Structure 1
Amino acid sequence: MFKPYTLDEGKLLVKLARDAVSQYLRTRRIMEPPKELPEKLLKDKYGVFTTIEVFMGRNKRGELRGCIGFPQAVYNVAMGVIRSAIAAAVEDPRFEPMSPEELDKVTFEVSILSPLELLEPGNPRDYLNKIVIGRHGIVIQRGYYSGLLLPQVPVEYCWDAMEFLNEGCVKAFLPPDCWLDEDTSVLIYEAQIFREVEPNGDVVERDLMEELKVCQNAHGNKS
């Protein structure tokens, strides 16, 4: 299981994401990682995604406000969080740029990604047994097309592996069954996910396997 950071370190990363967006919306400047951060956050290199959601209540799924990141290590983790958070706030093409007034109405979630792993080509239907919902995220690639879905997405929608692959293809602007094509590459990865439970509130580490059980129970133990 991919868990490079402690909860305390995760709290620092989520606070960093919020602080980076707050400062950028006020000054239009990209902050530098604070020097007092733990050394590993300034040196480690992983893929990073920041998700911003409109807070709808503690026991309700938030409404997406922005989600952008780097599938592979481009910056150190601290700078990756800063850059991805700002991009999620003002560069997600699905939404208008955030305003400072929204900061108290949204929650921040930071996902730290393990290195991408290419599933061996062969019989594509074997992918269904290799992708574990609640553990893996996917990247679908074919030619110039590429689509990434974080591991929390199929849990939140209670998808099975086939639905996950289909939706990954759609995210890449490809036909839903493109993963069955030998010209399509399917990559998997894991993620450690930290999120605010409410705006400016406490930060927790998500347990996707436990969330999946709740989803499956609510949907009649779908598997």
Structure 2
Amino acid sequence: MDLAEGAEAVVYARRVIEAALSRRQLPNHPSHGVFGDKGACFVTLRTVPDDELRGCIGYTEAIMPLGECIQQCAVSAAFHDPRFPPVTSDEFPSIAVEVSVLTPAHEMYVKNRGGLPAEIIIGRDGLIVEYGAFKGLLLPQVPVEQGWNTKQFLDHTCVKAGLPPDAWMKSDKVKVYSFTAQVFDETAPGGKVKKRDLFR
């Protein structure tokens, strides 16, 4: 996805939320080019200038066209993230929108579980930890923003899944998957869109 397509994705996500706040019909999702192909994405909302998370919802699997995925995730991030109250019209002008477009996740295999951290690159990889009904995901930008190393990244992904921090180390039954993402966000609410460079 190039910058123009990423900018279109972010602008569209903002338009969807604005329409929902105004109780208007949601704008049709784009279906040309990459937006018509099945894709997985997350929409993240952050407050400005505090840079606090305000909502983040997404799909890890490409089960619908990317344009439709962006629409659904924008609505869910703004109004249905169980960690936060619904976004209001008064606060939305102070919220920046970010869209992450994900690649398919692949299970990580190592001979020794202790070798997992060495296989992860901060800024490139997102992680999914799965054990039975327990599942947690952290996007590639999270460890960059938090200043974590790869072991801390694994620990926190386990916690996100509702597991002990060292669960990834304790059992082969705890599955660890990695994926990458292209991340596009607004420099200011409703402002210019840039592609994030996540590498330190």
Note if contact 2:30-2:36 (Cα within 8 Å) is conserved in structure 1. Answer: no
Q: Percent identity?
A: 38
Write out aligned runs for 1:96-115 (5 A).
Answer: 96-115=85-104
- Distance in 2, matches of 1:108 and 1:94, equals 17
Answer yes or no: is the 8 Å Cα contact 2:40–2:60 preserved in 1: yes
CA gap of 1:135–1:34, structure 2 versus 1, over 3 A, is closer
- Deviation, 1:30, is 4.2
Q: By how many angstroms is 1:122 displaced?
A: 3.2
Give a deviation string over 1:128-165, Cα, whole Å, max 9, x none: 11111110000000010000000000001111110000
Q: How does 1:43-62 map to 2 (within 5 A)?
A: 43-56=36-49, 62=51
Structure 1 unaligned regions, length at least 5: 213-223
CA displacement at 1:124 relative to structure 2: 1.1
The counterpart of 2:127, out of the listed 117, 126, 138, is 138
Unaligned runs of 5+ in 2: none
Report SS of the residue matched to 1:100: coil
Q: Which moved more, 1:99-108 or 1:151-160?
A: 99-108
Deviations 1:83-114 (A, max 9, x none): 10110000011100011222211000000000
- Would you say 1:26 and 2:30 are equivalent positions? no
Structure 2 residue identity aligned to 1:192: Q
Q: How many angstroms does 1:46 deviate by?
A: 2.0
Secondary structure of the residue that 2:61 maps to in structure 1? coil
Q: Counterpart in 2 of 1:195?
A: 185
- Which of 116, 127, 130 pairs up with 2:116? 127
Residues 113 and 34 (structure 1), Cα distance of their counterparts in 2 relative to 1, 3 Å cut = closer
The aligned length equals 199
Q: Determine if the alignment matches structure 1 residue 17 to structure 2 residue 13.
A: yes
Return structure 1 stretches of 4+ with deviation > 4 angstroms.
Answer: none
2:75 counterpart SS class: helix
Q: Is the 8 A contact 2:110 2:116 kept in 1?
A: no
Query: CA 1:108/1:191 → structure 2, altered by over 3 Å: closer, same or farther?
Result: same
Cα distance in 2 for partners of 1:189, 1:33 equals 25
Deviation of residue 34 (structure 1)?
4.1
Instruction: Select which of 56, 79, 91 maps to 1:67.
Output: 56
Q: Report the Cα distance in structure 2 between the residues aligned to 1:152 and 1:139, rounded to whole angstroms.
A: 14
Range moving further from structure 2, 153-162 or 61-70: 61-70
**RMSD over aligned Cα atoms:** 1.3
> Structure 1, residues 28-83: CA drift from partner, whole Å, max 9, x if none?
64442146xxx223322221000000111xxxx61110000001112211111111
Could you state the TM-score of these two structures normalised by the residue count of structure 1? 0.86
Q: 2:160 aligns with which of 171, 178, 198?
A: 171
